[in-house]
Amino acid sequence: MAMGTIRGAQLAVDKNGRVHVAWDGMGGGSSLDPHAGHSDNHPAHSHPAHEASGDKHPLFYTRLNDDTTGFEPERNVITYAYGLDGGSSVAADPQGNVYVTWHAPQPGNTNGEAGRAVFIARSTDEGKTFQRETPAISIPTGACGCCGMRAFADSRGKVLAFYRAANQMTNRNETLLISRNAGANFEIAWSHHWNIGTCPMSSASISENSGDILAAGETHGRVFFVRLDPKTGKVSSPVSPDTKAKHPVVIGNSRGDILLAWAEGTAWAKGGSVAWQLYDREGKPFSHKSQADGFKPWSLPSAFAESDGSFTIVY
């Protein structure tokens, strides 16, 4: 199982600055003694912690400890919805809720990818404990096995998940879910159609800017972003650079400017270049596309806005 671009760890930062991390545990796994590094009376040691036989690969979660000196021992949040393939994700909201999401086969599934679903495990105590996972929605959308997904919680407590659906035909639509009640129930906020018979191994991005949600994905071999108004539920038309691209990231700054960055020329175990373009609040480009070489195999871009409104891209 290739870790690479899709199956790497994801993180979120909560209201108190605590870091939460989730990643696919595609192996036997072990967990450090919770006392390791805190007392000479409890020397560090490891012990087998999680079974990973067959398709029961664990989904690990950890968080920064209360002393901010290190991370707590990893925990498997899956209780029954095993069958990890593509990426998992994690989000944290201002109310102390933490959400770990992933897609896996529904129990008893015999429909392949069409029988996969998005699951969510919720914590109401900043990640101390998690409830048993539940399907995000009852509508059978399926999920594209090798594609990643992204979870996000906005400043108002809305929870979102962006993933690629998959049915028994060839529909692999990028699908945006939203919850207005702290992850208890989700609905489909938007879907972008793509009729393709193979898995594109795509990733997704979600961020918030001036109250609007920015979501980026891939369809038809090109990346795009949309803007969602959480109050009205209205989603803008997709904005896309006219070039073949993968692995988008979209963020905004305090002025309302939007940066879309992506990867070009990448393939299996092959690097390429990183490219980006700036857009105004209405999604109109106000800069030419820029590009930089040196994009490593299995990498993907990330980005953040500086305090002066400029953007920094990391890859």
Cα–Cα distance for residue pair 275/261, rounded to 1 Å: 6
The verdict on 209 and 185 lying in the same domain is no
Contacts of residue 115, defined as CB under 8 A and 6 or more positions apart, other chains included, come to: 105, 106, 109, 140, 142
232 and 134 inside one domain: no
- pLDDT band of residue 5 (cuts 50, 70, 90) is confident
What is the residue range of 192's domain? Answer: 1-31+46-149+157-200
Whether 138 and 268 map to the same domain: the answer is no
- According to DSSP, the residues that pair with 169 across neighbouring strands are none
300 and 215 in a single domain? The answer is: yes
Count CB neighbours of 269 within 10 A: 9
The one-character DSSP state at 265 is S
pLDDT at 64 over 90: yes
Tokens of 165: 């659906």
- What pLDDT score does 4 carry? 77
pLDDT higher than threshold 60 for residue 171: yes
Q: Compute the average pLDDT of residues 261-266.
A: 96
pLDDT at 15: 86
CA distance 100 to 145: 17
What is the CATH number for 270?
2.115.10.20
The rounded distance, in Å, linking the Cα atoms of 113 and 260 is 30
pLDDT at residue 40 tops 80: no
> How many residues are there in the chain?
315
Q: What is the dihedral of CA 81, 84, 87, 92, to 10 degrees?
A: 30
In a domain, 36, yes or no: no
Last residue of a domain, one of 170, 200, 230: 200
What pLDDT score does 54 carry? 54
Q: How confident is the model at residue 42 (pLDDT cuts 50, 70, 90)?
A: very low
Query: Does the pLDDT at position 304 exceed 90?
Result: yes
Give the rounded distance of the alpha carbon of 15 from its chain centre. 19
Sequential DSSP letters for 203-259: --EEEEETTEEEEEEEETTEEEEEEE-TTT--BPPPB--SS--EEEEEEE-TTS-EE
In the Cβ-directed half-sphere of 273, how many Cα atoms lie within 13 Å?
A: 11
**Does residue 37 lie within any of the structural domains?**
no
pLDDT of 37 > 70? The answer is no
190 shares a domain with 140: yes
Is 211 a domain residue? yes
How many distinct structural domains can be found in the chain? 2
pLDDT, mean of residues 150-177 = 93
Are 193 and 218 members of one domain? no
Query: Among residues 203, 200, 234, 197, which one has the least CA distance to residue 216?
Result: 203
Give the list of residues 6+ apart from residue 145 with CB closer than 8 angstroms, or none: 85, 86, 103, 113, 116, 166, 199
Q: Determine the pLDDT at residue 243.
A: 93
**Amino acid residing at 17:** G
Q: Are residues 138 and 226 in the same domain?
A: no
Domain match, 136 and 22 both: yes
Rounded distance between C-alpha atoms, residue 243 and residue 187, angstroms = 31
CA neighbor of 296 nearest in space, from 259, 270, 267, 276 = 270
Pair (123, 214) in one structural domain: no
In a domain, 38, yes or no: no
- State mean pLDDT over 72-96: 94
pTM above 0.85, yes or no: yes
Q: Are residues 170 and 212 in the same domain?
A: no
CATH of the domain at 103: 2.120.10.10
The answer to whether residue 40 is domain-embedded is no
Neighbouring C-alpha atoms within 13 Å toward the C-beta of 221: 9
For 138-162, what is the mean pLDDT? 94
User: Is residue 41, in this structure, part of any structural domain at all?
Assistant: no
In a domain? residue 39: no
End-to-end CA gap in the chain: 23
Task: Classify residue 292: in a domain, yes or no.
Answer: yes
Give exposure, 241-259, as e/b (b: 16+ Cβ within 10 Å): beeebbbbbbbbbeeebbb
Note the pLDDT of residue 2: 58
Q: Does residue 58 sit in the same domain as residue 131?
A: yes
Q: Which carries the bigger pLDDT value, residue 231 or residue 302?
A: 302
Domain finish residue from 168, 200, 232: 200
Q: Domain check: are 251 and 285 in the same one? A: yes
